């Protein structure tokens, strides 16, 4: 079982969905911390189905193929419960940080400053969007641990913190590069 498999099981705790819907559902809010394309999701759902972690109910689709709605099975829930408390692997891939390593010895420092000013601007935009999402979530009571969508709120909180940190750092780095 790959991490993607568990990601899909996690998404299915929010209710049954088609592969297409899971592709959308993954974008917000966990898309800030995990992504997958439909080309990766469809074969993985087939594997989960073979393992008995999900079941599919077929119906008429809009295109040439049948539409399959997947649901979590008891076995799937068990597999997820087993995986969740295990220590998580950390696989860092952050190009923005990587570029900072060589930024100061770059030929054109002012262009590097522009890059980090853009990073800061993007972070500010993300924070504005997150702030609105947060308000909506609080209104709906998702900030309560007993609400089934508390996880969405928790992930958003990490996103807010990460973007705030990124904003401060990129602003600092850009100002250093402007000197």
Q: Which does 150 bind (CB under 5 to 8 A by kind): DNA, its own copies, none?
A: its own copies
For DNA, the binding residue among 14, 32, 46, 151 (CB under 7 A) is: 46
Tokens of 117: 């000013």
Sole binder of DNA in the list 21, 55, 162, 171 (CB under 7 A): 21
Which does residue 43 touch among DNA, its own copies, none (CB within 5 to 8 A, set by kind)? DNA
Q: Which residues pair with 59 in a beta bridge?
A: 67
CB of 90 to its own copies, least distance (A): 7
Q: How far is the CB of 60 from its own copies (least distance, A)?
A: 31
- Round to whole Å and give the CA distance between 29 and 157: 10
**Nearest distance in Å: CB 57, DNA:** 10
Cα(162)–Cα(18) distance, integer angstroms: 31
- At closest approach, how far in Å is the CB of 104 from its own copies? 4
Burial 116-153, CB ≥16 within 10 A → b, else e = bbebbeebbebbeebeebbeebeeeebbeeeeeeebbb
Question: How many C-beta atoms surround the C-beta of residue 80 within 10 A?
Answer: 18
Which positions lie near DNA, rule CB under 7 A? 2-4, 18-21, 24, 35-40, 42-43, 45-46, 61-69, 91, 93
């Amino acid at each position: 079982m790959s991490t993607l498999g568990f990601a899909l099981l996690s998404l299915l705790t929010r209710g049954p969905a088609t592969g297409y819907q899971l592709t959308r559902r993954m974008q917000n809010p966990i898309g800030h911390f995990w992504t997958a394309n439909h080309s990766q999701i469809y074969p993985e759902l087939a594997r989960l189905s073979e393992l008995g972690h999900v079941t599919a109910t077929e119906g008429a689709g809009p295109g040439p193929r049948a539409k399959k709605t997947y649901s979590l099975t008891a076995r799937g829930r068990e597999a997820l419960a087993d995986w969740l408390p295990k220590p998580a692997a950390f696989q860092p891939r952050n190009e923005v940080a990587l570029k900072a390593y060589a930024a100061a010895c770059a030929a054109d420092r002012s262009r590097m400053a522009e890059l980090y000013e853009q990073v800061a601007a993007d972070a500010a935009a993300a924070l504005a969007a997150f702030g609105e999402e947060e308000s909506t979530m609080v209104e709906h009571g998702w900030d309560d641990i007993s609400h089934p969508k508390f996880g969405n709120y928790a992930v958003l909180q990490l996103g807010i913190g990460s973007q705030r940190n990124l904003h401060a750092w990129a602003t600092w780095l850009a100002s250093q590069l402007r000197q």
